[in-house]
Amino acid sequence: MKNHNGRFLVQSFFLFFLLLLIEGPVMATQAMIPISVNDEKKQCTGFFGGDECSTCGVLPEGWRDIKGACPEGYAMVYFETPGRCKPEKNFLCCSSGHSGSRGDCEDMVLNKEAKRCAFVEDITQCSALPVGWTKAEDGVDLCPVEYKWQEELLSCSLL
């Protein structure tokens, strides 16, 4: 009799876990992706709420947020809602290998000898950078993996 009770208990646990494996995915629902629509253009786009690399503000004129799916007859366009997000100057977002959205890396400067990266306040207002520092060259718009970031803004001679 003991043998049958033990086997029944094992079979019951097995059946319970099998049901969990089957029911789990069926019971889970996909999160609703916020949608922005432009009724005049009859367009929809996915809404990006922002992260550490960008700040998302007010929708441009003509766009509004909705809950649910893109309305019937509207075309889904695959670009971020124009004017919605502004990239942030954040060292993480301007580092090679970062998997998130891109930040505002325009004001990044490099010191190749010291293997350092830094930001200046506004590169367009710099007439000269400190010795050893250069503006990022075309094609090198992210801080290389082997470089370290300087925490404070680098000062430059102003125009």
Residues 79 and 111 in one domain: no
Residues 79 and 109 in one domain: no
pLDDT band at 13 (very low <50, low <70, confident <90, very high): very low
The domain in which residue 83 lies consists of: 35-87
Residues 95 and 80 in one domain: no
pLDDT at 30: 42
Please state whether the predicted TM-score (pTM) of the whole model is above 0.85.
Answer: no
Through-space distance between the first and last CA atoms of the chain, rounded to whole angstroms = 93
H-assigned helices in the chain: 2-27
The CA-based angle 125-131-133, given to 5 degrees, is 65
| pLDDT, tens digit, 9 for 90 and up, residues 31-66 | 456 788 999 999 998 766 678 888 877 777 888 888
Query: What's the whole-number average pLDDT of the chain?
Result: 79
* Residue 67 DSSP label: S
- Reading the block at residue 8, the tokens are 């029944």
Q: Is residue 13 part of a domain?
A: no
pLDDT at 22: 54
Q: Is residue 23 part of a domain?
A: no
User: Which residue shows structure tokens 């695959």?
Assistant: 78
Distance in angstroms (rounded) separating the CA atoms of residues 123 and 135: 8
Q: Is residue 144 part of a domain?
A: yes
Q: Nearest Cα to 109, choosing from 88, 87, 131?
A: 131
- Provide the b/e sequence for 61-71 (b: ≥16 CB within 10 Å): eebeeeeeebe
Q: How many domains does the chain have?
A: 2
